[in-house]
Amino acid sequence: MIRGPRSEAFDPQVQANVDTTPFASAIQMGDDPRTVSDALGRALEGGEGKLGILYASEGFAPHFEGMVESLRERTGTKEWVAAAGYGVIAGGEEHYGEAGAAALLLDVPPDGYRLFAGGSTVGAELAARHGEWLRDATMPLALTHVDPRHGDAMEAVDRFAADTGAFLVGGLTAAAEDAPHQAGGATGCLSGVALSPLRVEVATGLSQGCTPLGPVHTVTRSKGNVLVGLDGRPALDVFSEDIGEELASDLRRVGGLIFAALPVTGSDTADYTVRNLVAIDPASKAIAIAAAVPEGDRVLFCRRDRESAVEDMRRMTGDLRRRIGNRAVRGGIYVSCAARGPNQFAAPESETEIIRDALGDFPMIGFFANGELNRDRIYSYTGVLALFVA
């Protein structure tokens, strides 16, 4: 069992009334789902928790029902949320492309959360069943897992956020077959758990892993996903100035290094969603990206490399450290893009080590995702961290 250290609450006068006991977590690697779930259950025996989170490698998705039942019997924790990804994370461990699973028991009150699972109408269904609870919560945090194989996945995320007023964190799951996620035994396009900030305080952070290369530009001419004009000039001319003479002299080098970023309207944190470059046409001086870009929209270009990723990860964790002050971190969830992890970070600056350097040693699990959820959007190349604080 992995348990984080105790830390002092921010106000000594109320510390006696605040439970700062770390959540219980465990990780077990191996190819056999029954052996793995049994080992997790043994490690978690004695841990307190009304709600359990299970993350596993994608090959374990068809076995979630049996794994969850084993964990119920061992731990006494009845309600579980589960999701599969390209690898699992726990504490200071990151296992990408390896078979195994990690689990976290959340010691939160029964009125602090509500499970959900279903299609694009699941948010409306949750609001119909628990409308008063959602209104009291004002803006619940929804740990959300989405099956990207569903054609209405994007719409489902939008509608869930709108129907519940929730702030989403989580990710797109991975599995070749069967349901790659579930909540309370039910599945669908998306599932997870909504947490009330009145009962469970959570601080969240988003790391983009990219560095903007120039100013934000206005799309003055476009055709679908093709940027033709930016700021009244040919798109490629603007792009070349932003990326610099060295890269502009050999555009074959920009693949996998330079990306387009679409600023999030209304964000006060310079937030943006990153999209791949699809093609560059020197003859027409146009650039195609993996998103529709209507005229009048804004776009900037950014660089994604190891140095940029490390720098932004340290920015995100440092910001969280300042926000939570001396309060105790009882546990955490970290969802990282499959294109990050060992593909972008390396010891001694792995993602989990950067988190622990800034925030200390506490129980944390997560997975490597097909895409990440933050607020009401699906991102890529990002890391999303949620901390349960007291």
Selection from 304, 329, 321, 327 nearest residue 357 by Cα: 321
Mean pLDDT estimate for the chain: 91
Given a cut of 50, is residue 73 above it in pLDDT? yes
Domain ranges of the chain: 15-207+310-389, 211-303
Tokens of 164: 């519940």
pLDDT > 70 fraction of the chain, expressed in percent and rounded: 94
The answer to whether the CB of 210 falls within 8 A of the CB of 271 is: no
Give the bridge partners for 84, in sequence order: 56
The answer to whether the CB of 58 falls within 8 A of the CB of 180 is: yes
Residue 37: band (very low, low, confident or very high) from pLDDT cuts 50, 70, 90: very high
Residue 3: band (very low, low, confident or very high) from pLDDT cuts 50, 70, 90: very low
Given a cut of 70, is residue 11 above it in pLDDT? no
Selection from 299, 288, 275 nearest residue 226 by Cα: 288
Give the model confidence (pLDDT) of 144-163 as tens digits: 999 999 988 999 999 999 99
Given a cut of 50, is residue 229 above it in pLDDT? yes
Give the model confidence (pLDDT) of 161-203 as tens digits: 999 999 999 999 998 778 899 999 999 999 999 999 999 999 9
Residue 10: band (very low, low, confident or very high) from pLDDT cuts 50, 70, 90: very low
Hunting for tokens 């709108």 — which residue is that?
A: 162
Phi and psi at residue 347, to the nearest 5° = -60, 145
Give the model confidence (pLDDT) of 127-138 as tens digits: 999 999 999 998
Question: Which H helix or E strand runs over 70?
Answer: helix 64-75
Mean pLDDT, range 291-302, rounded to an integer = 95
How many angstroms separate the Cα of 67 from the Cα of each of 89, 144, 174, 181? 18, 20, 17, 13
Burial of 318 (0-12, 13-18, 19+ CB in 10 A): middle
Give the list of residues 6+ apart from residue 267 with CB closer than 8 angstroms, or none: none
Q: What is the number of other CB atoms lying within 10 angstroms of the CB of residue 244?
A: 12
* Polymer length of the chain: 390
Mean pLDDT, range 288-296, rounded to an integer = 95
Tokens of 348: 């001694």
What predicted TM-score, i.e. pTM, was given to this entire model?
A: 0.86
Give the pLDDT of residue 69.
Answer: 97
CA dist., res. 368 & res. 98, Å (int): 11
Q: What is the 3-state secondary structure (H, E, C) of 215-260?
A: CCEEEEEEECCEEEEECCEEHHHHHHHHHCHHHHCCHHHHCCCEEE
Selection from 376, 368, 362, 298 nearest residue 332 by Cα: 362
Would you put residue 198 in left (φ > 0), alpha (ψ -120 to 50) or beta? Answer: alpha
Give the model confidence (pLDDT) of 185-196 as tens digits: 999 999 999 999
Handedness of CA 350, 355, 358, 363 (dihedral sign): negative
